[in-house]
Amino acid sequence: METDLRVGSLTDVGKVREINQDCYSIDSDNGLYVVADGMGGHLAGEKASRRAVEIICQEIAASGENSISSLQKAIQEANRAIVTQSLQDSSMRGMGTTVTAVLAQETELFVGHIGDSRAYLIRRGRIEQITEDHSVVAQLLRARAITPQEAQRHPYRNVITRCLGMQMEIEADTQHLPWQKGDRILLCTDGLSGLVSDEEMASISSGSEDPQEACQLMVDLALDRGGHDNVTVLILANE
């Protein structure tokens, strides 16, 4: 890849959970960046997120393509593998995971996601959420049935409506976006977005020249506010 990229990343188990069910991957050779948030009892969530990330990376590397179709296919293959494993192993029954993946090229991005792990575009200090949460609360917000303030306290705020592992055939949302020098892409699990506001993410990212430092500051802030979930953040800086 010709794009001059700098990457920061950090994951933390948080202050409440015993196991980190988040997983992420940085594959600079293929321009692929992935964040996943697993769910399920015992070790099921951890295995689901790890399996999803592994398969997506393998599929993209094998395809030799950077495209919406290759990303969609990779996510579908990950889903089928997780469903199959949950059917074959009763201890893994009901496991699932979110996933948000970005294929970065010099002037464009391909984004695929399912669940409520997010991707943001930060440009000239302004932040835009470029993924749409697959969650009960997000549906209520889109229907204007609740306010953003009510969403923060809603009892179903952590209930997702779509994830890998839910059913054998499932379709991820995909986007093709332009990006330019100075832009930053931020990927995160809800352990960050649930405790750190979009505006705070933009301020920290824009105020830190080093993406790794920005990741550390964001995770520290989430932990200071309770760290009730695993926290993962990945920042991709187009320089």
pLDDT digits (tens, 9 = 90+) for 37-58: 999 876 799 999 999 999 999 9
* Alpha-carbon distances of 67 from 15, 170, 215, 237, rounded to whole Å: 38, 19, 28, 20
Would you say residue 1 has pLDDT above 50? no
pLDDT digits (tens, 9 = 90+) for 75-128: 999 999 999 999 999 888 889 999 999 999 989 999 999 999 999 999 999 999
Average pLDDT over residues 28-43: 91
Judging by beta carbons within 10 Å of its beta carbon (0-12, 13-18, 19+), is residue 146 exposed, middle or buried? Answer: middle
* Alpha-carbon distances of 170 from 62, 114, 215, rounded to whole Å: 22, 9, 31
pLDDT tier at 233, thresholds 50, 70, 90: very high
Distance CA 147, CA 38 (A): 28
Q: What is the pLDDT of residue 91?
A: 86
Q: What is the pLDDT of residue 156?
A: 66
pLDDT digits (tens, 9 = 90+) for 155-211: 666 778 999 999 999 889 999 999 999 999 999 999 999 999 999 999 999 999 999
Which DSSP helix (H) or strand (E) runs through 203? helix 198-207
- Domain total for the chain? 1
Q: What is the pLDDT of residue 2?
A: 45
What's the CATH code of the domain at 79? Answer: 3.60.40.10
pTM recorded for the entire structure: 0.93
Distance CA 26, CA 206 (A): 21
pLDDT digits (tens, 9 = 90+) for 209-228: 999 999 999 999 999 999 99
Domain that holds residue 83: 5-238
Q: What is the pLDDT of residue 200?
A: 97
Q: Which residues contact 57 (CB under 8 A, 6 or more apart)?
A: 25, 27, 30, 32, 34
pLDDT tier at 3, thresholds 50, 70, 90: low
Q: Considering only residues 64 and 47, tell me which one the structure prediction assigns the higher pLDDT.
A: 47
pLDDT tier at 35, thresholds 50, 70, 90: very high
Average pLDDT over residues 30-43: 91
